């Protein structure tokens, strides 16, 4: 059986939200498997740290500071990737934000931020890479959802609904990609030991969290051609379900 690492060697993979947490772990893992990794994030310091980690391990990485909920920034990300590597084989839509706010605390600007970061970014980046993948014979898109899409939690109504959109969007994109060689998957992590988790739930039991590399390993696995008949599915990865 062909391994994910064999598939990744020499391929080009864009990872959004790759400055820290799950995105950084994915970028590091893909690079270790031989991919040319492009990391997108808004925070320069985070991008710098991710680049240093990958290059220290002998990997190849291009970092692009951008907000993937903005059209012009996504266009810049795609353009710089194509200029550097000439193709796009993998897109990981991992950028997102998860503020904890009940309905009476949820101001319209915060709601809009959740929609832009978790929904609009997935649409813009998927649309941006689509024709490049078609022209090169196919590719793989993996979208980060969340168990919040299925498991309601007070204060996470907007975030959970946004991640439920990602699940539905993944199914539909997989249908559109079937005839052009583009596979689309989703992964819904539970509690992962990240700054984002601790910012919302500082007292969450450590024994119930997953390491970022556990999630990154799932992303890598889905790149194997062995999963070609599972396109459209979203996989839950959690200790609590």
| Closest C-alpha to 148, from 91, 213, 221, 200 | 200
User: Which residue(s) pair with 13 in the sheet?
Assistant: 37, 90
User: Which residue(s) pair with 62 in the sheet?
Assistant: 38
Whether the CA torsion 197, 198, 204, 206 is positive or negative: it is: positive
pLDDT at position 3, please? Answer: 46
pLDDT at position 173, please? Answer: 98
Percent helix, strand and coil across the chain, each rounded to 5?
50, 15, 30
Name the residue range of residue 13's domain. 4-237
Choosing from 7, 85, 159, 185, which is the catalytic residue?
159
What is the number of structural domains in the chain?
A: 1
Gap between the Cα atoms of 201 and 213, Å rounded: 20
Burial label, 183 (beta-carbon count in 10 A; 0-12, 13-18, 19+): buried
pLDDT, mean of each 10-residue run, the chain (241 residues) = 66 95 94 96 94 93 97 98 98 93 95 97 98 97 93 89 97 98 93 59 62 88 92 86 58
pTM for this prediction: 0.92
Q: Residue 143 maps to which CATH number?
A: 3.40.50.720
pLDDT at position 194, please? Answer: 58
Q: Is 159 assigned a catalytic role?
A: yes
**pLDDT per residue as tens digits for the range 46-74:** 999 999 999 999 998 999 999 999 999 99
Gap between the Cα atoms of 44 and 81, Å rounded: 18
């Amino acid at each position: 059986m062909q391994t994910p690492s064999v598939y990744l060697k020499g391929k080009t993979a864009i990872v959004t939200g790759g400055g820290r947490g799950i995105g950084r772990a994915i970028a590091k893992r893909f690079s270790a498997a031989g991919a040319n990794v492009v990391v997108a994030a808004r925070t320069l310091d985070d991008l710098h740290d991710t680049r240093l980690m990958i290059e220290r391990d002998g990997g190849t990485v291009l970092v692009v500071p951008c907000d993937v909920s903005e059209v012009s920034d996504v266009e810049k990300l795609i353009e710089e990737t194509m200029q550097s590597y000439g193709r796009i084989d993998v897109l990981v839509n991992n950028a997102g934000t998860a503020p904890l706010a009940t309905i009476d605390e949820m101001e319209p600007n915060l709601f809009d931020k959740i929609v832009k970061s978790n929904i609009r970014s997935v649409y813009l980046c998927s649309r941006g890479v689509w024709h490049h993948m078609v022209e090169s014979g196919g590719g793989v898109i993996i979208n980060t959802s969340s168990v919040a899409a299925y498991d309601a939690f007070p204060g996470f109504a907007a975030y959970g609904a946004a991640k439920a959109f990602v699940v539905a969007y993944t199914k539909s994109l997989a249908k559109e990609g079937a005839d052009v060689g583009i596979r689309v998957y989703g992964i819904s992590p539970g509690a992962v030991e990240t700054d984002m988790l601790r910012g919302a739930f500082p007292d969450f039991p450590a024994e119930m969290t997953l390491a970022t590399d556990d999630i990154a390993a799932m992303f890598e696995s889905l790149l194997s051609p062995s999963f070609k008949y599972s396109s459209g599915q979203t996989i839950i990865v959690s200790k609590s379900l």
